[in-house]
Amino acid sequence: MAGVNTARTASAPGEEPAPAIPGDGLGGTGPFDGNGSLDEPAESADTAAFGDPAAAEVRLPNRPESARTARRLVRSVLLTRWGLPEALAEDTVLLVSELVGNAVRHTGAQSLGLRLRRQRGRIRVEVRDPSRGLPCLLPVHELDVSGRGLFLVDHLSDRWGVDLLPLGKTTWFELRAEEP
């Protein structure tokens, strides 16, 4: 799939960007225990602890373990709640892991926001952080051991981009999601 890298100041047509909130701009609460692995059936515990990313933005701490939590939350919504195909869930989980990992590594944020949206045959995953620094799509070489995150997002998503906000940015991607 061909991705589109767009740095924008508004969301998709007809959508407003997430509102800016004073402080870290992310709001929300929830404990983070960092336990579990991708293979554990911990989705309901994650939803109870963090909230439902399909209903509202959930807040994740700026820790490497947040990528795992984001993967489980996204997988749970796509497979259990929305009944979407496993292959779509696998791609989405990989890409959300890359966006959360980039935000943890590069933004210095105290927390990150995660949100899922489903509209008109597509899903959209958004990761919000208080940094206004734009992510860079770098060339990837065969022996590189890091720096492949946005390359994967660019190649696996149908569209991706960055919405600049008064207090940060939202990095997002979209994938086609045919109705079951």
Q: Where are the domains of the chain?
A: 51-158
* 54 pLDDT tier (thresholds 50, 70, 90): confident
Provide the token pair at 62. 């700026």
* 160 pLDDT tier (thresholds 50, 70, 90): very high
- Hey, which of 11-20, 39-48, 72-81 has the most confident mean pLDDT? 72-81
Express as a percent the part of the chain with pLDDT over 70: 69
Tell me the pTM: 0.73
CATH topology of domain 51-158: Heat Shock Protein 90 (3.30.565)
Provide the token pair at 48. 């109870």
Query: Average pLDDT of the chain?
Result: 77
Burial classification of residue 8, based on how many CB atoms lie within 10 Å of its CB (0-12 exposed, 13-18 middle, 19 or more buried): middle
